[in-house]
């Protein structure tokens, strides 16, 4: 009876996880998707706890309470700006857990009723992918947090080095699978160490501009290592869940690479197969004068406009300006000005980062448009307000073959009648590339913190409206 209940709970949980992924495919159903995922996990945990495979309930309760407490504390304290590095850190937990489960299963003499050789190869795959996920995610966390630099570490012969480490793991895997008893422990430790170095090196060789894709790719790795652990433990739910996460993460990574004009192999191997720049090798230095604009002038431009497009970027996230932006949107809509938001696929530090921020501020979903849906309308737009974005509005991605971001599709904001760029400074973006947009004839720089800037714009718009109403 307990086996039947366990199977039923796993089936129900699997269905809920599938519905969760489906819900997360759009902003309108994302909350519902999260609820499906939570319900599926609760059912899976309780189903497993009530099975005949579990008897150490005191240890289980302590582990659940500790994990839930730590998770709740992290969720309560984390800011939306720190969400990308938190996601990377959580991926590292999955990798570390897979490695620890692999060693525990090996030392504990795990047996899923099949061939011992097959079990050992499952252990090998689990530890290999888990270690790569763990160290790669730790490096991604450091890069996203700013502890590590955003520039790629391109060692001479790095691809040969990566191939050598993979070959070494394969040789160790063969030795491990053929070792009797626990005699393969040294090989398993060596596999974990070498694959850990490989994971760190792979992510260190990837530039900061590609970090959003790396986060998605590491999510895929965490899914595959969970699936490998499922085969090792004969746990159908882990296999299904891992396959769902692994495949969805891989598909998202491919979509994002396509949106950035990147090869997926380029991102995985840190430049593998990438063509060298066709020019002299030094990016062109933008020429011209940066013209600033005041808050009063910006408010006048907005009030005189018939169509306004807002481009949110990481600067908006840092300033936590999304709620102020909602107020600005309401003010403009009250004047019957058409307002829309332009979202680049890799804006921020995480896939969907800007969508989450705008949803948090209750910005209507129907005015939040993706890059391919808004670019054609920009030439007819009166004012584009760029809030803390940089690389995703950089014209050199289209005009400068020597630029590190050349070929990456960008929001063509310079084609609008007026571009107002709200930034704290004139500094380069996350990719470390200067932006010719700052010197464009239609562009004006509005320096300052995004939240304070938008708050002041809202105040000026409200004051003007009140004066006219009086």
pLDDT recorded at residue 1 = 62
- Report yes or no: 217 and 201 within 8 Å, Cβ to Cβ: no
The two structure tokens encoding residue 120: 């050992």
Distance CA(313)–CA(388), nearest Å, equals 5
Query: Looking at 210, 391, 400, 434, which residue is catalytic?
Result: 391
Which residue, 35, 29, 37, 34, is CA-closest to 13? 37
Share of the chain above pLDDT 70, in %: 89
The SS3 assignment for 307 reads strand
pLDDT recorded at residue 276 = 41
The two structure tokens encoding residue 292: 């600033």
Active-site annotation holds for 391: yes
- Which contacts of 105-109 are long-range, i.e. CB under 8 A and separated by 24 or more positions? 105/232, 105/233, 106/182, 106/184, 106/185, 106/188, 107/182, 107/185
Q: Per DSSP, which regions of 363-408 are E strands?
A: 368-370, 383-387
pLDDT recorded at residue 275 = 45
Distance CA(222)–CA(92), nearest Å, equals 8
pLDDT recorded at residue 111 = 63
CATH topology of domain 295-469: Rossmann fold (3.40.50)
- Which contacts of 437-441 are long-range, i.e. CB under 8 A and separated by 24 or more positions? 437/393, 437/394, 437/395, 437/413, 438/286, 438/290, 439/286, 439/287, 439/288, 439/289, 439/290, 440/288, 440/395, 440/414
- Report yes or no: 98 and 126 within 8 Å, Cβ to Cβ: yes
Distance CA(447)–CA(444), nearest Å, equals 10
pLDDT recorded at residue 423 = 87
- Report yes or no: 375 and 411 within 8 Å, Cβ to Cβ: yes
pLDDT recorded at residue 37 = 92
The two structure tokens encoding residue 36: 């499906």
Residues 6+ apart with CB under 8 A from 131: 95, 99, 191, 192, 193, 195, 196, 198, 199
Instruction: Report the length, in residues, of the chain.
Output: 470
Query: In the chain, which residues have pLDDT < 50?
Result: 273-281
Q: Where are the chain's structural domains?
A: 1-77, 80-269, 295-469
pLDDT recorded at residue 110 = 63
Residues 6+ apart with CB under 8 A from 427: none
pLDDT recorded at residue 470 = 60
């Amino acid at each position: 009876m307990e086996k039947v209940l366990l199977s039923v709970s796993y089936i129900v949980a699997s269905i809920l996880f599938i519905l969760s992924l489906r819900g997360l495919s759009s902003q309108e159903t994302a909350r519902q998707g999260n609820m499906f995922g939570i319900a599926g996990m609760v059912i899976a945990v309780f189903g497993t706890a009530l099975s005949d495979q579990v008897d150490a309930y005191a240890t289980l309760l302590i582990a659940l309470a500790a994990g839930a407490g730590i998770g709740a504390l992290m969720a309560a304290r984390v800011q939306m700006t720190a969400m990308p590095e938190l996601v990377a850190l959580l991926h590292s937990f999955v990798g570390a857990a897979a490695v620890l489960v692999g060693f525990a299963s090996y030392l504990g003499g795990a047996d899923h009723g099949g061939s011992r050789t097959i079990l050992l190869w499952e252990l090998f795959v689990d530890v290999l992918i888990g270690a790569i996920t763990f160290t790669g995610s730790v490096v991604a966390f450091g890069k996203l947090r700013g502890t590590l630099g955003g520039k790629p570490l391109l060692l001479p012969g790095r691809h040969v080095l990566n191939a050598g480490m993979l070959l070494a793991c394969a040789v160790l895997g063969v030795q491990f699978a053929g070792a009797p008893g626990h005699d393969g422990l040294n090989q398993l430790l060596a596999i974990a160490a070498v694959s850990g170095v490989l994971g760190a090196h792979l992510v260190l060789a990837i530039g900061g501009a590609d970090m959003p894709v790396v986060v998605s790719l590491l999510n895929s790795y965490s899914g595959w290592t969970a699936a490998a652990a499922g085969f090792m433990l004969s746990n159908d739910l882990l296999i299904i869940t891992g396959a769902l996460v692994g495949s969805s993460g891989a598909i998202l990574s491919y979509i994002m690479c396509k949106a950035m004009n990147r090869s997926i192999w380029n991102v995985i191997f840190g430049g593998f197969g990438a063509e060298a720049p066709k020019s002299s090798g030094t990016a062109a230095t933008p020429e011209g004068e940066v013209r600033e604009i005041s808050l009063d002038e910006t408010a006048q431009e907005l009030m005189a406009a018939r169509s306004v497009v807002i481009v949110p970027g990481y600067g908006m996230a840092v300033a936590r300006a999304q709620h102020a932006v909602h107020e600005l949107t309401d003010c403009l809509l009250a004047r019957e000005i058409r307002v829309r938001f332009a979202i680049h696929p890799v804006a921020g530090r995480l896939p969907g980062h800007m969508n989450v921020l705008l949803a948090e501020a209750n910005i209507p979903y129907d005015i939040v448009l993706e890059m391919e849906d808004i670019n054609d309308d920009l030439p007819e737009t009166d004012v584009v307000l760029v809030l803390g974005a940089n690389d995703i509005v950089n014209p050199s991605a289209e005009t400068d073959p020597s630029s590190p971001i050349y070929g990456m599709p960008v929001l063509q904001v310079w084609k609008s009648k007026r571009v107002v760029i709200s930034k704290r400074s004139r500094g380069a973006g996350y990719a470390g590339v200067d932006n010719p947009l700052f010197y464009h004839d239609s562009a004006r720089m509005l320096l300052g913190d995004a939240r304070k800037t938008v708050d002041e714009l809202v105040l000026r718009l409200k004051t003007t409206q009140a004066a006219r109403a009086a």
